[in-house]
Structure 1
Amino acid sequence: MNYNVVFQTTHIGTALSKTKTFSSLKTLFLLLLTLLYLNAGAAAINQLVTLSEKNTSIEKVLIKIKKQTGYSFLYDKELLKNARLVTINVSKVPLDEVMKKCFADQNFTYEILDKAILIKPTAQPKKSASVQQSSSQAVTITGKVTDSRGGTLVGVSVLLKGSTQGTATDANGRYTLTIPADGILSFSYIGFATQELATNGRSTLDVTLLEETKSLNTVVVVGYGSQQKRDITGSVGQVKAADIKDQAVTGFDQALVGKISGVQVLQPNGAPGSAMAIRVRGLSSISAGNDPLYVIDGVPLSNNSDFSTAIVSNPLNTINPTDIESIEVLKDASAAAIYGSRGSNGVVLITTKRGSGGKAKFTYDGYAGVQQVVKKLDLLNAYQFAELTVEGINNAYADAVPGANLDLSLNSSRPVSYRVPARYFPYLAGEKGLTDTDWQDAIFRTASMQNHTISVNGGTENIKYYISGNYLDQNGIIIGSGFKRYSGRVNLDGQSGKFRFGVNFTPSYTINNLVKTETRYTEGSIVSAALSIGPVFKVYNDDGSYNFDATPGEGTKTWNINPVAMALLTKDKLTQSRILTNGYVEYSFLKNLTYKFSLGVDQNNYREDFYRPSNLPQMSGFGAGGVGSPSVPVGTSESRAIINWVAENTLNYIGSFGNHNVSGLLGYTTQKERIDGNFLRAENYPTDIIQTLNGGQITQGYSSLSKWSLISYLARLQYNYQHKYLLSATIRSDGSSRFGKNNKYGYFPSVSAGWIVSDENFLKDSRTLSLLKLKASYGLTGNFQIPNYASYGLLGNANYVSGGTITNGLSPTTVDNPSLRWEKTAMFDMGIEAGFFGDKLQLQADYYNSNTYDMLLNVSVPLSSGFATQLKNIGKVNNRGFEFSANYRHNIGKWQFSVNGNIATNKNKVVELGPAGEPIYTNGASGSIEYVTMIGKPIGSYYGRVKDGIIMSQAELSTIPVTNSSKPGDFKFRDINGDNKIDDKDRTIIGDYFPDYTYGLTLNARYSSFDMSLTIQGSQGFEIVNLQRRYIYNFQGNFNSYTGAMDRWRSEENPGNGQVSEVNRVPTGDGGIFSSHHVEDGSYTRFKNITLGYTLPKNVLNVLKINNARLYFSAQNPFTITKYMGYNPEVNNRPGSNLSPGEDYGSYPLAKTYVLGINFSF
């Protein structure tokens, strides 16, 4: 006896048809279990209902019950077609009793499942005539239904179009159905787009369903809970794991690039394991941190940036991206205020994968490939370098000795400092086969990369688990560098009666082999050395030893150490062991109340061991000593032991009163952290054989201890009327050990409102508009990222004389400020969300305006106090901007595609600065002032002279403002203040690091078993301080140069392109002074990822005895379109300094990565 029924889910006037056919009680039981899973989270069965209806259709009554209870109704439209009209008048009556009254004398009955109500006929309906008529021509068809990732779909409705005949897929996603040979099958499943396919007499038909485009019921994780997307009144961006799968990234943050409007994700450093810089709606602080708060599975992480290397400031470094299910970014104050004092820079919520129950499912996901530097800079070859070096020496000689004879045959009679080294003469003569070293090729390599993850997912009705293990091995594109990660994860969730409980356990161990880049080392960077050293020098001597050749006194010096030797001889290893654990217990009691206690512990142990051997010469600096001073072997060992724990108690309420729906949250949390540090330095190593500290003599050592604590109270109230008028209010109180005793507590409220306009009577029947929501919010958040003891007067070591003896002691080093309080950000946000054509097209736009006030600044104090400055709350910064995103999905025949795009603007402006409003001037890596922070301008604007070309002739020199040493061929500067001379008073703002707008675009397409994805992102309208131009564009003969130097000014008759100055061993005309010559447009468009995939067909899977498998090729950073001359337009050598951003000197370049991967499950 067959049981045939069509299920329909009704939600706010929108129907999604779902058909199931059952041939046995076993299949029926399977479907019921599926429905229980799909409708998780509905209201309790004893909910009360209020109805007053007279002669109303049963469907309208069901809609009203749905709005009050949250239950979904599953039924056959045809079944209700001839239903009797309902007349009922009840008030606060249990749901079951209301259902009995509504279904009295009807030809159907109902069954209340756990979270849905199934309406079924009282008698089995007959087969349709069309099916009976065609049965003589019937064929039996079988197949399997999977999702876009190859996962099995259980309980999919498979219906013969135009009839009620159908079936549902079994536990393996398979179905069997007898239908007419020319029949059309409709495949439908809750949450997925329905597909109709002609069978054409086939006996086998496999189908892949795509996720439903309709997004109203999407669940979004917010602070301390989750919400339906349509009910959110704040600004929250979401990225799911499926959106970024198969990208060759070592951290989940790298895959966020270009995905969320208003969230700028920069990769300033390409070193393996290095941190991304995430900026949510601009830069809000001058002296405090600007990183968002990271929360993993409810545990707020600490961002420890006090270690000697910025590598460890990345809290996602130890997290396997494959374990992450979704990531949400809370952008506005109403969303982030629930985190109070840590919400000003946004909040990043990371949710890891959970067990789904059922039979154990094993999954492997891995890839292997190669990496190469994204590009090489176009530098002079050895012959060009020799030409410019000799020309520079000659020009300097001519300036120093007017009328000097520049004939090189008289070279030996010149002063030593103006002699041309003998090594250059063969190059000038054009001899072949001379040394022509490409130092970029010498330090860069094609590096291997592999990543492997094995996971198992399953469980019982009461216990569910997700367990995984990961191994990552990434060699760096610079020789000597690399990163390895070993990590695991165990996520367990259980339920027993009214109790729910769970635990997450995540151990990890990483090894990072570091090399000298940026400004981590005083003796220079491997990259800057490779760009600077002349190509006339060899990497190795004839005997195989490293070449450290430099000839002081011959008129040229490299002032750099062999970068290959620096990379391979120096040992610098950073290791990190981490255990991130958290557990929770929930208990549901009374009516609609749930208490939850959670405890999280984050244990981190860092250790960095460094050794500089005896065979690596020192760079004694810019002087006659040059390179080659004897080396002093040095070993250091630095460690940090960090333990951070957080305990949270929350009470949640969810209830409905007629058309009024209310939810509330109360919470009390505490968090503490302790950091123990140790440092040791050893020298006087007799040999390089023993490189640990016991091989030398300890010359320095110290230990440190630092603590902080936070205690918080929080509350949130959410209300809606008919799910159409939305209101939310939040408040959090934080007490912190970091702030002064007069301001230990801060209060952070927010309020937001929304209106679902599309649910109004005048729009709800629109066939085009599926969603129209207006929203607005205002709230207050704080910034917690300051030193632990900033409000205290600190003591430091000091010696004093007592009785003629020098005695150790302590003295104050900073003045206390007991009134030090939080930096606070007040943000207003308003936005609109719209959906069209069943949400196939979704649009969202937001405008925000935020003001950060009580900014922390060091303010001058009277010298009579004994101190120069004191940290005070003085200053204000404004950020405002627009955000826009659009998503479109559509199917055309066998083609399935989606397009997601976003664009955002941000304008940063300093509003207040201290009592006098005086600008803050900041030095750059050049040692001179390069930055200014002043009222009305962005933080850390570039500050220098404006280059206005080249002084082309003596005639021009006599008619323009110049410096005291200017001559033809030198830089020409703009006279900003009009005093007819060029000096420091002509400095002005010449750029900034804040883009006019950022954007991202993601394309996804699928045809049959093939799929493709493309991600493009970029930034426009910002500048970079390219300090490499200062050194490798200075034409002094001691550094190599860009090939643009060949267009230099040589004489009035041969002026070059009018932008490149004369080559001169002794620079004149202030060419080395910081100016717009060193500032470049950083605008770029980057093809971030291209992925091509192929899902194996069923017959191959059967042979392999696996459920699904997919092969893919992925390219990361394959192309970048930019005018910037450096390696990476996202560069920022000083990510921790807000006052001096956007500087590029010796940075580790990005890699372009190509991998082949496979994922399969069984």
Structure 2
Amino acid sequence: MKKTTIFIVLATLCLISKLNAQIPIRLTGQLHSGNGKPLSGATLVITDTKLSTTTDELGNFIFPTAPPKGTISVSYTGYISQTISFNQENRNLKIILNSKENSLEDIQINAGYYSVKDKERTGTIAKVNAATIANQPVSNPLAALQGRVAGLVITQRNGLPGSDFNVQLRGRSSIQSGTSPLYLINGVPFPSETVAQVSTIFANSPLNTINPADIESIEVLKDADATAIYGSRGANGVILITTKKGKAGSTKAELNLSAGAGQITRGIEMMDTREYLQMRREAFANDKITPTIANAPDLLAWDTNRDQNFPNLLTGGTAHTQNAQLRLSGGSPLTSYALSANYYKETTVFPGETGLNRKDANLNINHQSPDNRFSLNLSAGYGISVNTLYSSDLSSAVATVPNSPSPYSLEGKLIWSENGVNFSNPLAMTFEPNDYRTNRFNGNAVMGYQLLKSLRLKLTTGFNSTSVNQFTATPIAAQNPSGAPTGYATFGDNFNQTWTAEPQIDYSLNLKRYGNLSMLLGGTWQGTFTRGTLVQASGYTNDLLIGSMAAAATRTPTNSYADYRYQAVFARINYNYESKYLINLTARRDGSSRFGPGKRFANFGALGAAWVFSEEEIIRDKLSFLSFGKIRASYGLTGNDQINNYQYLDSYIPSLSYAGQTGLYPNRLFNDSYGWESNKKLEVNLELGLLKDRIRISTGFFRNLSGNQLVSYSLPGQTGFSSILQNLDARIENRGLEIELNTVNLKGKTFTWSTSANLTFARNRLLEFPGLAASSYASTYFIGEALNVLQGYHYTGINQTTGAYQFQDKNGDGQLNTLDYYLLGTKDPRFYGGFSNTFMYKGFFLDIFFQFAKQKGTDLIYGASGLVGSRNNVPKALLDRWSPSNPGAKYQAYSQSNSGPINTARPLIRLSDAAIVDASYIRLKNVAFSYSLSEKTIKKTGLSSAKISLQAQNLLTITPYEGLDPESQSPSTLPPLRMVSIGLQLIL
């Protein structure tokens, strides 16, 4: 009996001990750096569980429930990771992380459907973080990427607020289909091209409604391994924009205020009145024509002593910017939030009240259950952008005659004539409004549930809506009253809506000594609905009524409608053996409503592999200076469906066909046999880290082959249609070399100097085009040449008898036509890139960034279309014109006649090799300077931090190009401005 009692007691004690060992505990702690600085945002994961959390701004962390004992893995970018043990007795941890030199170990890269450590990625993904974006005084996120990503060419269309951008990643891969990357904001597709019904000045980019200060990071996915999981949508690359999210901790308030000013970087020196009148008189003398009031009012009717600087009047103003943002964030380890509101205003350099006003707000909520099995992330953003501009870019009027009548009368009204002679008043354009009002809403919800230890379910849903209301008008006040004009206006509305739903299953398996295997399976359903209306109204007799459609005498309405459907299934298998051998396999089956019933689905996929050879023992032992080394390669197939909707259907449009009755007539032939374009991508890359990663080098070669081209193929006239869309077995190659370099040159206790650079060599060419010589494209594309190839005449100098430009008659038939064209190269850059140097000393920060390109461009003067000697002002450089006393001049003789050899040569010089010049440049793209007040200084104020900053964009451009801007190369478009901004940041 006594033995039995003892046994029962011992068993009870063992059971109690076992039960106590299984009771969850509350685990807390603090995380600091070696010098005692709290580390905010560090990641902590309890080993062999899915329990994780992050530290707040004071370095504190909490696990509400944790196993009674175990280990916790702690990682933070730039610091050496640690694994710390804990138990019931040691449940309040004090953890110190030591910094390491520029490590790749813990840098997380967003790959869209998954994230991966930079060290372990097999694809090519470039990342631009929030700090880099914040250092630039820009209103569009794309402007923050210029020159900073290898292989990515971004060109700003103009210097107007809300400007559009041309974006091309690794070259042009299609003859006629779209070549823009796929843009995703928090996983939801977002339009990058203007959705306005009428766009005359290219200043309504939807991305301009996104506040750059709300962006956490931008990832650019390039190769097949990175983009194939997006299937056809990623054929031209993928740009992922991730907005900022809340972090656990006490409520933090961040206030950012800035103001700036901008002007054109450089102007074109035009002739003054004396030089201009000399040109005009000489032109009449050369043409042997006597000036009269009718053909030369500038010589005979207008004040010849008046000298007006129209370039300065029209584009010489100062643009101003104002920016204010308030951001609140905080929460518990289980639920965190972030809320921001922003106001941004930017004016133009034009006279008058024009510019952009933007207001936006963003909300993010993160929640996870106490056992970390369920997670929810909600993000929503709403923005209103009002862009008040003119119908035309005033830069197009800088050639106004310098002794023209003054634009305004003493009463402030436009003047249209002087001494009985009418003239075109350039400031009439300031009476022609072109207003855009853009409303943008985007939101997404990501729900996850840990069903099993290795199995996680996830559902991502998203919605994006962009609407544009546009009003343009030409009132009576903007027209010469001598013709009894009436006003006319255009009213446009366009609505674009996209929804997505993507369920996913993520399974991970620890094979122990055989490595780790992870698998992802998912599906995509996407719909994009577009609706537009356009009303052209005319016959207004009172400018006060021009905003009313009902007041117009005549109204011509049109409307448009499109409904696009896309669906796909995708899978990813990733194998990781000791973080040394990595294999990534992706596959996707896409379906698109833009193809006929039998061609809607296609299969795409990619294989990526990497070998981290620096993990080999022999490498570590023999090459101690090599801290990191990886060879990776990928190959895959993607598609492209960036064509208009309903192209495979036969369609009809309405027409007033008979006796004023509306009828229908066909405008497109039925063809359901065309299918997806294909893009085969190959890449090989070498990554090296030297001297504890203080030097990092990445060199990658890529070759993309695009085939099965979708083109508009010409048809014989007897068919009743000019063309039909079909596939053509043409192949386009884009190949290149990308080099990236990051170094930490000096690193001390108080001073750090680092350098970052990227360089891209790229080439585009047409490899195959069956039947090209007999097609309508025979004079446009050439085998072995770039798609953007230039062709034209060979310029041989100035004829010493006529004073006109002359060109080589290639075939000797005595005529100059397209048969005499030569291939003149391409404007595609031969190489391009950027480099920056960053200096940090105590609280001071300085970053200097240069952008450069080696390229050709169109000459300012040879590329102009005007007749030099007509009633238009011209650049002062044209004073070097041919005359009997100046036979070696650069430019032909003056003439104002629409006939004769000089006029004949005028359009030909634009199409010659003389007009193709060196447009290479090195631009001081961005300078950012800031000073953060010391903790001792701000401690008395109650603030957590305070910083003042000075930022500048487009400060200096070194180039042989004589035009306004070597990047945009447009003589009649406002170039990107030089902007300088001063700011203040306060954090409570």
* TM-score using structure 2 length: 0.88
Q: Write out aligned runs for 1:383-398 (5 A).
A: 383-397=274-288
Q: Which amino acid is the alignment partner of residue 477 of structure 2?
A: N
Q: 1:299 aligns with which of 145, 164, 188?
A: 188
Residue-by-residue CA offset, 1:627-658 (whole Å, 9 max, x unaligned): 97443301221001222110110111122112
Cα contact 1:917–1:935 (8 A) shared by 2: no
Partner SS state of residue 287, structure 1: coil
Cα contact 2:428–2:479 (8 A) shared by 1: no
Q: 2:270 aligns with which of 366, 379, 382?
A: 379
- In the alignment, does 2:569 pair up with 1:713? yes
Partner SS state of residue 741, structure 1: coil
Partner SS state of residue 390, structure 2: coil
Equivalent residue, structure 1, for 2:7? none
> CA separation in 1, counterparts of 2:416 and 2:40?
73
The alpha carbon displacement at 1:1103 in A equals 2.8
Cα contact 2:943–2:987 (8 A) shared by 1: yes
Q: 2:721 aligns with which of 867, 885, 896?
A: 867
Please list every run of 5 or more consecutive structure 1 residues that lacks an aligned counterpart in the other structure: 1-24, 48-68, 70-94, 98-109, 125-153, 156-166, 169-187, 194-211, 399-405, 518-524, 619-626, 923-930, 955-966, 1133-1143
Q: Which amino acid is the alignment partner of residue 813 of structure 1?
A: N
Equivalent residue, structure 2, for 1:1149? 975
Cα contact 1:859–1:914 (8 A) shared by 2: no
Equivalent residue, structure 1, for 2:886? 1054
| Alignment RMSD | 3.1
- Summarize the Cα distance change of 1:45–1:545 in structure 2 as closer, same or farther, 3 Å threshold: closer
Q: Write out aligned runs for 1:903-1052 (5 A).
A: 903-913=759-769, 915-918=771-774, 932-951=780-799, 953-954=800-801, 967=802, 969-979=803-813, 982-1024=816-858, 1026=860, 1029-1031=863-865, 1034-1051=867-884
Equivalent residue, structure 1, for 2:358? 485
Q: Which amino acid is the alignment partner of residue 262 of structure 1?
A: G
The alpha carbon displacement at 1:370 in A equals 0.6
Partner SS state of residue 215, structure 1: coil
- In the alignment, does 2:125 pair up with 1:236? yes
Cα contact 1:396–1:418 (8 A) shared by 2: no
- Summarize the Cα distance change of 1:745–1:302 in structure 2 as closer, same or farther, 3 Å threshold: farther
Cα contact 2:164–2:193 (8 A) shared by 1: no
Equivalent residue, structure 1, for 2:3? none
Partner SS state of residue 476, structure 2: coil
> CA separation in 2, counterparts of 1:46 and 1:499?
10
Cα contact 2:736–2:761 (8 A) shared by 1: yes
Q: 1:511 aligns with which of 386, 393, 415?
A: 386
- Summarize the Cα distance change of 1:864–1:1107 in structure 2 as closer, same or farther, 3 Å threshold: same
- Summarize the Cα distance change of 1:1150–1:920 in structure 2 as closer, same or farther, 3 Å threshold: farther
The alpha carbon displacement at 1:32 in A equals 11
Q: 1:853 aligns with which of 704, 707, 724?
A: 707
- Summarize the Cα distance change of 1:845–1:485 in structure 2 as closer, same or farther, 3 Å threshold: same
The alpha carbon displacement at 1:286 in A equals 1.9
> CA separation in 1, counterparts of 2:846 and 2:464?
38
The alpha carbon displacement at 1:570 in A equals 0.9
Q: Which amino acid is the alignment partner of residue 574 of structure 2?
A: Q
Equivalent residue, structure 2, for 1:689? 544
Equivalent residue, structure 2, for 1:147? none
Equivalent residue, structure 2, for 1:775? 632
Cα contact 1:1127–1:1150 (8 A) shared by 2: no
Q: 2:455 aligns with which of 593, 603, 612?
A: 593
Q: Write out aligned runs for 1:785-934 (5 A).
A: 785-801=642-658, 805=659, 807-874=661-728, 875-889=730-744, 890-892=746-748, 894-913=750-769, 915-918=771-774, 932-934=780-782
Equivalent residue, structure 1, for 2:140? 251
- Paired residues, what number? 924
Cα contact 1:947–1:1075 (8 A) shared by 2: no
Cα contact 1:304–1:312 (8 A) shared by 2: no
Identity of matched residues, %:
26
The alpha carbon displacement at 1:601 in A equals 0.9
Q: Which amino acid is the alignment partner of residue 929 of structure 2?
A: L
> CA separation in 2, counterparts of 1:1148 and 1:664?
51
The alpha carbon displacement at 1:1013 in A equals 0.6
Residue-by-residue CA offset, 1:496-545 (whole Å, 9 max, x unaligned): 1311012101011000112234xxxxxxx521222344444423235432
- In the alignment, does 2:172 pair up with 1:283? yes
Partner SS state of residue 1071, structure 1: helix
Cα contact 1:1004–1:1012 (8 A) shared by 2: yes
Q: Which amino acid is the alignment partner of residue 29 of structure 1?
A: G
Partner SS state of residue 340, structure 1: helix
The alpha carbon displacement at 1:225 in A equals 1.1
Q: 1:652 aligns with which of 506, 509, 521?
A: 506
- In the alignment, does 2:950 pair up with 1:1113? yes
Give 1 or 2 for the bigger CA radius of gyration. Answer: 1
> CA separation in 1, counterparts of 2:759 and 2:849?
14
- In the alignment, does 2:519 pair up with 1:664? yes
Q: Which amino acid is the alignment partner of residue 911 of structure 2?
A: S
Cα contact 2:713–2:723 (8 A) shared by 1: yes
The alpha carbon displacement at 1:978 in A equals 4.7
- Summarize the Cα distance change of 1:296–1:1012 in structure 2 as closer, same or farther, 3 Å threshold: same
Q: Write out aligned runs for 1:323-472 (5 A).
A: 323-397=214-288, 417=295, 421-423=299-301, 427=304, 434-472=306-344
- Summarize the Cα distance change of 1:1152–1:703 in structure 2 as closer, same or farther, 3 Å threshold: same
Residue-by-residue CA offset, 1:869-917 (whole Å, 9 max, x unaligned): 1111113211101000100013146321110001001111122335344
The alpha carbon displacement at 1:810 in A equals 1.3
> CA separation in 2, counterparts of 1:667 and 1:787?
27
The alpha carbon displacement at 1:1008 in A equals 2.0
- Summarize the Cα distance change of 1:640–1:416 in structure 2 as closer, same or farther, 3 Å threshold: closer
Partner SS state of residue 540, structure 2: coil
Q: Which amino acid is the alignment partner of residue 691 of structure 2?
A: F
Equivalent residue, structure 1, for 2:928? 1091
> CA separation in 2, counterparts of 1:629 and 1:443?
29
> CA separation in 1, counterparts of 2:524 and 2:752?
47
> CA separation in 2, counterparts of 1:340 and 1:711?
10
- Summarize the Cα distance change of 1:768–1:903 in structure 2 as closer, same or farther, 3 Å threshold: same
- Summarize the Cα distance change of 1:752–1:1121 in structure 2 as closer, same or farther, 3 Å threshold: same
- Summarize the Cα distance change of 1:851–1:628 in structure 2 as closer, same or farther, 3 Å threshold: farther
- Summarize the Cα distance change of 1:451–1:1064 in structure 2 as closer, same or farther, 3 Å threshold: same
Equivalent residue, structure 2, for 1:749? 605
The alpha carbon displacement at 1:437 in A equals 3.2
Cα contact 1:909–1:935 (8 A) shared by 2: yes
> CA separation in 1, counterparts of 2:755 and 2:388?
40
The alpha carbon displacement at 1:787 in A equals 0.5
Equivalent residue, structure 2, for 1:1072? 907
> CA separation in 2, counterparts of 1:655 and 1:35?
31
- Summarize the Cα distance change of 1:972–1:703 in structure 2 as closer, same or farther, 3 Å threshold: closer
Q: Which amino acid is the alignment partner of residue 1070 of structure 1?
A: A
Cα contact 1:436–1:537 (8 A) shared by 2: no
Q: Which amino acid is the alignment partner of residue 97 of structure 2?
A: Y
Moved over 6 A (4+): 25-28, 32-37, 120-124
Cα contact 2:895–2:903 (8 A) shared by 1: no
> CA separation in 1, counterparts of 2:83 and 2:662?
80
Q: 2:436 aligns with which of 542, 561, 574?
A: 574
- Summarize the Cα distance change of 1:418–1:609 in structure 2 as closer, same or farther, 3 Å threshold: closer
Q: Which amino acid is the alignment partner of residue 1050 of structure 1?
A: S
Q: 1:548 aligns with which of 413, 416, 419?
A: 416
The alpha carbon displacement at 1:822 in A equals 1.5
Partner SS state of residue 514, structure 1: strand
